[in-house]
Amino acid sequence: MRSSEADPLKRWSSLRRFLAQPWVLGLIGVATVVLIWLLTTASGAVDKLFLPSPQAVWHAGQSQWQSGVLLKDAVASIQRVFIGFALSAGLALPVGIAMGTNPTICRLLEPLMALIRYMPAPAFIPLLIIYFGLEELPKILLIFIGTFFFNTLMIMDAVKFVPSELVETALTLGGRGLPILTRVVAPFIAPQVLDTYRINMASAWNLVIVAELVAATEGLGKRISLAQRFLRTDDIFVGLIVIGLVGLTIDLGFRFLMRKACAWAN
Amino acid sequence: MHLNVASVCKSFGYGPKAKQVLDSVSFDLHSGQFMALVGSSGSGKSTVMRLIAGLERPSSGEIRLDGQRIRGPGADRGMVFQKYSLYPWLTAAQNVAFGMRLQGRPKAEVRERTAYFLEVVGLVDSARLLPRELSGGMQQRVAIARSLAAEPKVLLLDEPFGALDLQIRESMQEFLHRLWLQTGLTALLITHDLEEALLLAQEVHIMAPRPGRIVRSVRADLDRSSLAHLRVSQPFLALREELASCLRGLDSNLTA
Ligand SMILES: Nc1ncnc2c1ncn2[C@@H]1O[C@H](COP(=O)(O)OP(=O)(O)OP(=O)(O)O)[C@@H](O)[C@H]1O
Ligand SMILES: [Mg+2]
């Protein structure tokens, strides 16, 4: 009697422990969607042209990979994102710190930035094309415009939240301007800065695709818009999935960096 | 070492919104002395301390350290805050070393002095722990060690035990007293707690609010060979009662 009662209980608790693993439920979620996708296409209820089967998408991906376009497109997009975002992140750091530490600079720039921040970056595309043509520069600038103001304002906020005790303690220990910046402010805001970059990287990734949809010779976004012209929904799916995977990888990279570099903050 | 606070007034804000926080505060602090400022909340105790630290400027009057007028913060006046002042990304030992590294002292000296001051505050075993892994009392001991390691001429303590519970407070008072005997430091302690002030300081100033001013100064030359005995000794209790009624008098003036 006892054992028959204890057994399912034990099994139930080990199941619970299994589900508590951080990635298990997430994988179940993804698998469920893929399964539904598989069943829907297998049942033939939906036209293949609208919803290609997972197998068809896999094959499309394989052939894109073998011909080399997939890698070329991915590299082109990733390169744009990295250059544009590196410029944005690199400039936002000093400007954000300056705004966070100096009230005059803050009052001067904050209204301007708050205003531009609400102008949707894709709306700048026509201007950028007029000014800079169809080369790399307008795409990189688009990413810059779309992330710089968010990066700056979020870094400014992080700086403003540095507890005054930490700065004042350093002052009474003989600290002065620059050393306080590098030894107190910088380490304190590092976790928030990394998180800011992680979050805004997502919009950089969105913007590069938008830019490529409008005008590009290569890139993941370009591939999608070409595929649309030829009704190649399987290629569109490949593009979407690759974009998602690359974005997720970058996100995980930032999280990893944060765990390594800012262990004290967890 | 001689710290001279002379007729210091301090107002915050300008024009009609100006608020006078300190009115003509004066006192002297000499080498090896332990002095306490006691007063109700808002009587300007922290403001006095921030003025001495150089974190604020007096509106009038002046503060001199060894004859030199104070112009800003410096390593000759160490400060310990009530809380949140350890660097959360540095270990206890790195926190203690922080000031010395800011001052650019040689590495070997920093290492040696860090070890010495961790020993002084009894935290050798916790050297590698992060602040969040330390109890409140341990954190404050690290903060005190960090200040002392930078060799200030005077140590400014702004309610250093205010956030600790009673038992830890008492052991921290013992600790601070021993530290004072051992290192001969010069200290200015701010506290709400009259008993704490009388236990530790030979000179106690009582402050009244609105505007903040010193209303009473007493010398407390008591036998401090054992704080436990001192707490219940007759002269201590008598002095405490006298000053407590002085503080109560200030309160009733306010409510009246
Ligand atoms: N930067 C400031 N601007 C305006 N008013 C201030 C400022 N700093 C302090 N005050 C005011 O000065 C008065 C005294 O403050 P202070 O912090 O010195 O008091 P305190 O005796 O330390 O009080 P507590 O025991 O609560 O710490 C308070 O009324 C406070 O509001
Ligand atoms: Mg105070």
Q: How confident is the model at residue A3 (pLDDT cuts 50, 70, 90)?
A: low
Give backbone dihedrals phi and psi of B162, rounded to 5 degrees, phi first.
-60, -30
Q: Is the dihedral of CA B54, B104, B148, A181 positive or negative?
A: positive
Residue B158 CA to ligand 2 centre (angstroms): 7
CA distance A262 to A258: 5
Residue A2 in this model has a pLDDT that exceeds 60:
no
CB A73 within 8 A of CB A196: no
The structure tokens 């201590």 sit at: B236
**Residue A182's closest chain B neighbor by CA?**
B102
| Contacts of residue A63, Cβ cutoff 8 Å, sequence gap at least 6 | none
The structure tokens 């057994």 sit at: A7
Residue B141 in this model has a pLDDT that exceeds 60:
yes
CA distance B166 to B159: 14
What is the DSSP pairing of strand B187-191 with strand B60-65?
Answer: unpaired
* pLDDT, position A213: 85
Residue A183 in this model has a pLDDT that exceeds 60:
yes
What is the DSSP pairing of strand B77-80 with strand B154-158?
Answer: parallel
CA atoms within 13 A on the CB side of A170: 20
Q: Is B140 in the pocket of ligand 1 (CB under 6 A)?
A: no
Q: Is B46 in the pocket of ligand 1 (CB under 6 A)?
A: yes
B88, B102, B156 member nearest A173 (Cβ): B102
Q: How high is the mean pLDDT of chain B?
A: 92
Give the helix ranges, DSSP H, for A215-261: 220-229, 233-261
Chain-chain contact of A172 with B147 (C-beta, under 8 angstroms): yes
Residue B190 CA to ligand 1 centre (angstroms): 13
* pLDDT, position A189: 95
Q: Which two structure tokens, joined as six digits, stand for B71?
A: 């112009």
Q: How confident is the model at residue B255 (pLDDT cuts 50, 70, 90)?
A: low
* pLDDT, position B60: 95
CB B34 within 8 A of CB B187: yes
Residue A266 in this model has a pLDDT that exceeds 80:
no
B84, B89, B103 member nearest A174 (Cβ): B103
Comparing A3-17, A41-55, B83-97, B223-237, the range with the smallest average pLDDT is: A3-17
CA distance B203 to B217: 7
CA distance B36 to B239: 14
What angle do helix axes A186-214 and A69-101 make, rounded to 10 degrees? 140
Q: Is B43 in the pocket of ligand 1 (CB under 6 A)?
A: yes
Q: Look at B98 and B255; give whichever has higher pLDDT.
A: B98
Nearest to A209 by CA among A225, A191, A221: A221
Q: How far is CA A202 from CA A140, A226, A246, A252, in A?
A: 15, 23, 10, 12
* pLDDT, position A133: 86
The DSSP symbol for B70 reads P
CB A140 within 8 A of CB A148: no
Q: Look at A266 and B116; give whichever has higher pLDDT.
A: B116
Name the pTM for this structure.
0.85
Give the helix ranges, DSSP H, for chain B: 45-53, 92-102, 107-120, 136-149, 166-183, 194-200, 227-232, 234-255
Residue B12 CA to ligand 1 centre (angstroms): 10
Q: Look at B188 and B41; give whichever has higher pLDDT.
A: B188
The DSSP symbol for A182 reads I
User: Mean pLDDT over residues A51-68, rounded?
Assistant: 93
**Residue B159 CA: which ligand 1 atom is closest?**
27
* pLDDT, position A6: 61
At residue B7, the 3 state secondary structure works out as strand
Condensed to tens digits (0 to 9), the pLDDT of residues B98-108 reads 999 999 999 99
Q: How confident is the model at residue B210 (pLDDT cuts 50, 70, 90)?
A: confident
Condensed to tens digits (0 to 9), the pLDDT of residues B165-208 reads 888 889 889 999 999 998 889 999 999 899 999 999 999 999 99
Residue type, A178: L
**Residue B207 CA: which ligand 1 atom is closest?**
21
Q: Is B98 touching A (CB cutoff 8 A)? A: yes
Q: Look at A261 and A90; give whichever has higher pLDDT.
A: A90
